[in-house]
């Protein structure tokens, strides 16, 4: 049995009875070619099942239509929301998204960078779940444009939620229904988390309140699942109740909030929205489940994806443009995890 192989541009040219250069012009947007000749080439390409070799074109142009999507936390719910929106838009615009899990070791990070460069990526999108700084620095040295989510390094285009404003809104909303308020942060604070906390503290100051308590949701030593959820669960019993820390909680991501809600319900028979109030951040799909009905800040994946495409078009179409920051308002989604303002 003969081995299958890809159809070449030379075969398309022979089938259409044209030159190899005519095939190239027919398949290049904006190239000079008569409509009849272009139609003949496209008909032959369709009949033979020919597609442009993006890797070969990248070697010729020193850039391909590949956009590398890099993350260190592909399993997170945030990635589960963002990736479909971004990849759909990239494909619709003719780009080829390449998903790279940066891994957990320097060796994996280094090999990931080699893949980005070898494949002549047109751009790199660094998603939340940050790769190490060494990867970012090395990518910048190659000259490949970088678009990053929720980071604060110079020299790259940045897309982030207005985390500071969200924190301020969260404090004000909790202050309407709570006597004592605290924020619950993950063990590892990121740029976004720090901004949310700063806004939360600013919200208290604006109302003339004492600085609220900040509690860290440290994961168990032997984590068996999603660490932020387990960290929130470990804190749940001590956070709420008559002897607890607060009756109003701002959890800096949804999974911490889920852990707190589950632990309070199980250990103290306390229910969010009835016995205490809790606000999360991200609006992952579970936030709308009946078990949680979590008030939270939504990071709209479609908005982020649109910003990626706009920045990509600007970066690849213009030279010498300064790095840009796109700050996206975080919309609060009200659900039943908040007590009613009496």
Q: Which residues contact 108 (CB under 8 A, 6 or more apart)?
A: 102
Whether 342 has a pLDDT exceeding 70, the answer reads no
Q: Do 135 and 19 fall within a single domain? A: no
Q: Which of 31-45, 192-206, 214-228 has the highest mean pLDDT?
A: 192-206
Number of domains in the chain: 3
The pair of three-digit structure tokens given for residue 269, joined into one six-digit string:
């028979």
- As a whole number, the mean pLDDT across the chain is 82
Query: Domain check: are 213 and 318 in the same one?
Result: no
CATH number for position 22: 1.10.260.40
* Tokens linked to 108: 């994996």
State the CATH number of the domain containing residue 113: 3.40.50.2300
Burial of 118 (0-12, 13-18, 19+ CB in 10 A): exposed
Mean pLDDT of 116-135: 72
Q: Tell me, yes or no, whether 279 and 171 share the same domain.
A: yes
Residue 292 — pLDDT band, cuts 50, 70, 90?
Answer: very high
Same domain (yes/no): 283, 180: yes
Structural domain range at position 199 = 163-299
DSSP 262-279: HHHHHHH---BTTTBEEE
> Taking 50 as the threshold, does the pLDDT of residue 247 lie above it?
yes
Which of these, 337, 127, 340, 150, lies nearest to 251 by C-alpha position?
337
Specify whether 174 is located in the same domain as 295.
Answer: yes
Query: Which pLDDT value is given to residue 73?
Result: 72
Is residue 268, in this structure, part of any structural domain at all?
yes
Domain contains 337: no
pLDDT: is 6 or 17 the higher one? 17
Same domain assignment for residues 36 and 143: no
More confident residue, 336 or 322: 336
Find tokens 């299958």 and name the residue. Answer: 4
Give the model confidence (pLDDT) of 297-319 as tens digits. Answer: 999 999 999 999 999 888 877 65
pLDDT band, residue 60 (cuts 50/70/90): very low
Residues 167 and 292 in one domain: yes
120 within some domain: yes
User: Per the domain annotation, does 273 fall within a domain?
Assistant: yes
Question: Do 306 and 294 share a domain, yes or no?
Answer: no
Which ranges in the chain belong to alpha helices (H)?
A: 9-16, 20-26, 35-48, 54-61, 77-92, 106-118, 133-142, 163-175, 191-206, 227-239, 254-268, 301-317
Whether residues 114 and 42 share a domain: the answer is: no
């Amino acid at each position: 049995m003969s081995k299958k192989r890809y159809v070449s541009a030379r075969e398309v040219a022979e089938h259409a009875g044209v030159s190899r250069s005519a095939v190239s012009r027919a398949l290049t947007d904006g190239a000079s070619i008569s409509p009849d000749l272009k139609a003949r080439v496209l008909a032959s390409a369709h009949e033979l099942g020919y597609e442009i070799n993006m890797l070969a074109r990248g070697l010729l142009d020193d850039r391909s239509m590949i956009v590398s999507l890099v993350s260190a936390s592909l399993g997170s719910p945030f990635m589960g929301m963002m990736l479909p929106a971004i990849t759909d838009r990239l494909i619709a615009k003719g780009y080829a998204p390449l998903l790279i899990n940066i891994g957990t070791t320097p060796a994996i990070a280094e090999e990931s960078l080699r893949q980005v460069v070898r494949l002549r990526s047109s751009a790199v999108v660094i998603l939340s779940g940050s790769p190490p700084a060494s990867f970012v620095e090395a990518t910048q040295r190659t000259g490949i444009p970088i678009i990053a989510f929720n980071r604060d390094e110079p020299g790259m285009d940045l897309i982030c939620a207005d985390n500071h404003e969200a924190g301020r809104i969260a404090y004000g909303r909790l202050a309407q229904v709570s006597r004592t308020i605290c924020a619950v942060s993950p063990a590892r604070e990121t740029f976004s988390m720090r901004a949310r906390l700063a806004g939360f503290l600013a919200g208290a100051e604006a109302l003339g309140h004492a600085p609220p308590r900040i509690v860290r949701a440290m994961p168990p030593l032997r984590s068996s699942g999603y660490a932020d959820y387990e960290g929130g669960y470990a804190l749940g019993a001590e956070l709420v109740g008559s002897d607890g820390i607060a009756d109003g909680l701002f959890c800096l991501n949804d999974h911490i909030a889920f852990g707190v809600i589950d632990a309070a319900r199980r250990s103290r028979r306390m229910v969010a929205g009835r016995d205490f109030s809790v606000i999360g951040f991200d609006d992952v799909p579970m936030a709308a489940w009946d078990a949680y009905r979590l008030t939270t800040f939504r990071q709209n994946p479609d908005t982020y994806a649109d910003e990626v495409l706009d920045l990509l078009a600007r970066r690849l179409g213009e030279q010498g443009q300064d790095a840009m920051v796109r700050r996206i308002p975080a919309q609060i989604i009200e659900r039943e995890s908040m007590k009613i303002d009496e």
